[in-house]
């Protein structure tokens, strides 16, 4: 993986952040659609009801959920570049064929493979206390003896910039940035090590990026800036961050010993493509997607096992219902999203000449809790059409408007391709995100099946409309 490509991954990831704001129904008064199109969209009401009924009220939805549960329990965490991820990809490939859909393929992708080794931290002063840490990938290692140094607790980058370098030099910086939103607070995870290193710190720790903690550290990716000394970096719990903050406020000296070891190399993984070939315009695509990899903690049930599974299910269930849309409906199970959208970027590069054929792109990577509607990126005309389609799904008809949506599909939105991500009642999503708490216990069968039903019916309508979703 060349240096320019790595920098591109980093830049994309910085823009790939989630924002959660008030969700309202789209103001259709701003839309003027052709009456014929409005009538056409309304004509899909019965087919939408049928698809959702078959999934919600027959055995289809329950069978899908059981397969999803089996997948998560069997494979657990699926980090980029690991053997278990490749076995999980094989499983989804073979499961597609067993469901009677043979138009499934994979495409090789070179991916980063960071393996967490041992990680320990111990408070030595003002008292002896173990500190739970989770390294941020791909952190560098400490020496075999570890790092023993005094701690300085800092609230923000602004505060860091005001402190003289001589005060920071040789210390472990603990960023005690309290959660405001993921989009704002994640900057401390991504950039904290580099900012601290620029001031002479020997290691950095961050308060985990989450609004809630039961002594649960949350991992994630970070980046080292250009021309900075790479220092070890990890996440700690809210509880330990608060403790160190109190000690510092009391004027007490805090000393930690940190030992960290991990390995990094490159491996070959695969994106998985499942096509329900269109009956009239097979070269035109509507893409529905989720990522199959996860972090190495928890099971990746919520991030993004649920989103991946309901997206995979779309062409599978429509094929079972003998519903073939005008355009080809392609489910993509992205590989290696967590290290920086690696699978999606590889697909974009490989299929650059086909981007004009992508009519609409969708992704579920923000949870599969109770479905609410869509977060939509695209032109005003595109939003108006999607808003009209959403009327068929009341009360799952809320719509949020963004410049780009999702994670992997952000790079496609930046190419002018309209798209949407699943809105759901995920106010607790970041309680579990990138932590050992991301297990099947987070999920609710009824909600996941509702998401699957909505996702399948919506995908069918978008891919079957007589007009393309406009880019302008």
- Asked whether the predicted pLDDT for residue 26 surpasses 90, the reply is no
Give 456's contacts (C-beta < 8 A, 6+ positions apart): 51, 52, 55, 310, 313, 314, 317, 318
Q: What is the pLDDT of residues 395-421, one digit of tens each?
A: 999 999 999 999 999 999 999 999 999
Query: Which active-site residues does the annotation give?
Result: 337
What mean pLDDT, rounded, does the chain reach? Answer: 94
C-alpha to C-alpha distance for 350 and 371, rounded to whole angstroms: 33
Phi and psi (nearest 5°) for 451? -60, -45
Mind listing the domains of the chain with CATH numbers? 3-103+277-464 (3.40.630.10), 114-263 (3.50.30.30)
Q: Are 307 and 367 in contact (CB under 8 A)?
A: yes
Q: How confident is the model at residue 17 (pLDDT cuts 50, 70, 90)?
A: very low
Helix (H) / strand (E) containing 269: strand 255-276
> Cis (ω within 30 of 0) for the bond into 434?
no
C-alpha to C-alpha distance for 215 and 127, rounded to whole angstroms: 19
**What pTM was computed for the model?**
0.93
Q: Show the beta-strand stretches assigned E in 49-190.
A: 104-125, 129-130, 133-135, 147-154, 172-175
Q: What is the pLDDT of residues 59-101, one digit of tens each?
A: 999 999 999 999 999 999 999 999 999 999 999 999 999 999 9
End-to-end Cα, the chain, rounded Å: 35
Mean pLDDT throughout 260-276? 98
C-alpha to C-alpha distance for 314 and 458, rounded to whole angstroms: 10
- Asked whether the predicted pLDDT for residue 196 surpasses 50, the reply is yes
Please tell me what DSSP assigns to residue 451. H
Name which of 109, 447, 427 is nearest 310 in CA terms. Answer: 447
Q: What is the pLDDT of residues 319-361, one digit of tens each?
A: 999 999 999 999 999 999 999 999 999 999 999 999 999 999 9
Q: Helix and strand tally (H, E) in the chain?
A: 15, 14
């Amino acid at each position: 993986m060349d240096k320019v490509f790595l920098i591109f991954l980093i830049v994309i990831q910085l823009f790939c952040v989630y924002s959660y704001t008030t969700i309202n129904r789209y103001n259709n008064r701003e839309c003027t659609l052709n009456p014929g199109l409005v009538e056409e969209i309304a004509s899909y009401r019965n087919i939408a009801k049928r698809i959702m009924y078959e999934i919600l009220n027959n055995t289809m939805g329950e069978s899908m959920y059981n397969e999803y549960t089996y997948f998560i329990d069997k494979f657990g965490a699926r980090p980029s570049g690991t053997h278990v991820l490749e076995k999980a990809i094989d499983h989804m490939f073979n499961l597609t064929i067993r469901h009677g859909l043979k138009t499934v393929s994979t495409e090789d992708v070179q991916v980063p493979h960071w393996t967490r080794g041992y990680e320990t931290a111990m408070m030595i002063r003002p008292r002896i206390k173990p500190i739970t840490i989770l390294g941020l990938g791909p952190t560098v290692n400490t020496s075999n003896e570890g790092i023993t140094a005094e701690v300085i607790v800092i609230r923000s980058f602004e505060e860091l910039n005001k402190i003289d370098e001589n005060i920071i030099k040789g210390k472990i910086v603990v960023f005690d940035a309290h959660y405001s939103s993921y989009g704002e607070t994640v900057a401390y995870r991504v950039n904290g090590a580099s900012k601290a290193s620029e001031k002479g710190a020997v290691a950095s720790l961050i308060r985990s990026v989450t609004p809630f903690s039961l002594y649960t550290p949350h991992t994630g990716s970070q980046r080292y800036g250009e021309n900075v000394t790479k220092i070890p970096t990890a996440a700690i719990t809210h509880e330990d961050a608060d403790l160190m903050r109190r000690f510092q406020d009391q004027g007490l000296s805090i000393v930690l010993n940190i030992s960290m070891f991990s390995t990094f190399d490159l491996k070959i993984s695969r994106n998985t493509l499942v096509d329900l070939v269109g009956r009239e315009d097979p070269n035109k695509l509507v893409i529905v997607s989720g990522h199959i990899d996860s972090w190495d903690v928890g099971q990746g049930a919520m991030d993004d096992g649920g989103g991946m599974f309901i997206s995979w299910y779309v062409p599978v269930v429509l094929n079972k219902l003998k519903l073939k849309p005008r355009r080809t409906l392609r489910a993509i199970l992205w590989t290696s999203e967590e290290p920086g959208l690696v699978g999606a970027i590889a697909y974009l590069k490989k299929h650059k000449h086909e981007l004009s054929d992508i009519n609409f792109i969708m992704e579920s990577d923000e949870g599969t809790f109770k479905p609410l509607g869509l977060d939509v990126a695209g032109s005003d005309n595109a939003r108006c059409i999607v808003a009209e389609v959403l009327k068929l799904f009341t009360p799952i008809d809320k719509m949020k408007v963004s410049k780009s949506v999702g994670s992997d599909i952000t790079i496609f939105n930046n190419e002018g391709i309209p798209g949407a991500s699943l809105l759901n009642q995920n106010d607790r999503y970041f309680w579990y995100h990138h932590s050992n708490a991301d297990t099947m216990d987070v999920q609710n069968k009824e909600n996941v099946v509702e998401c699957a039903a909505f996702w399948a019916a919506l995908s069918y309508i978008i891919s079957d409309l007589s007009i393309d979703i406009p880019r302008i």
